[in-house]
Amino acid sequence: MSKWIEVVELNKIPVLGSRLIKTRDMDIAVFRGSDDQVFAIRDACPHKGGPLSQGIMHGTSVTCPLHNWKIDLTSGNALAPDNGCSNVFPVKVEGGKVYLQLVIEEAPA
């Protein structure tokens, strides 16, 4: 089952920056664009796992801090000529708060 989870206030994310959200399964980088659009992507570059949360955001992409691959934050795909994909997650802003849609395991009965 998937559920919207409140993860951070929008104003706690710097414009053109990110906040790292730690979940049980992985770290997720939530980016804030210049127009307050938000993006959520697994904090692992498709090249060699670099921390995308520490990359430079430009438009709707981020440049990985390790070897400068550019990753499209809307799809998770590396931009040409590179090739690879990182997971992206549904994300929304409501009432100044950022929500991530995550898969939640049901607690055993």
**For binding to ligand FES (CB under 6 A), which residues are involved?**
45, 47-50, 64, 66-67, 69
* Residue 95 region by backbone torsions, left for phi larger than 0, else alpha for psi between -120 and 50, else beta: left
Residue partners of 25: CB distance under 8 A and separation at least 6: none
Shortest separation between residue 84's beta carbon and ligand FES, angstroms: 9
In terms of CB distance, is 52 or 102 closer to ligand FES?
Answer: 52
In terms of CB distance, is 14 or 49 closer to ligand FES?
Answer: 49
- Residue 1 in contact with residue 52, Cβ under 8 Å? no
Shortest separation between residue 44's beta carbon and ligand FES, angstroms: 8
In terms of CB distance, is 39 or 69 closer to ligand FES?
Answer: 69
Shortest separation between residue 64's beta carbon and ligand FES, angstroms: 3
Shortest separation between residue 42's beta carbon and ligand FES, angstroms: 12
Residue labelled with tokens 């409140």 = 6
| CA distances, 4 to each of 20, 84, 103 (Å) | 17, 27, 9
In terms of CB distance, is 71 or 102 closer to ligand FES?
Answer: 71
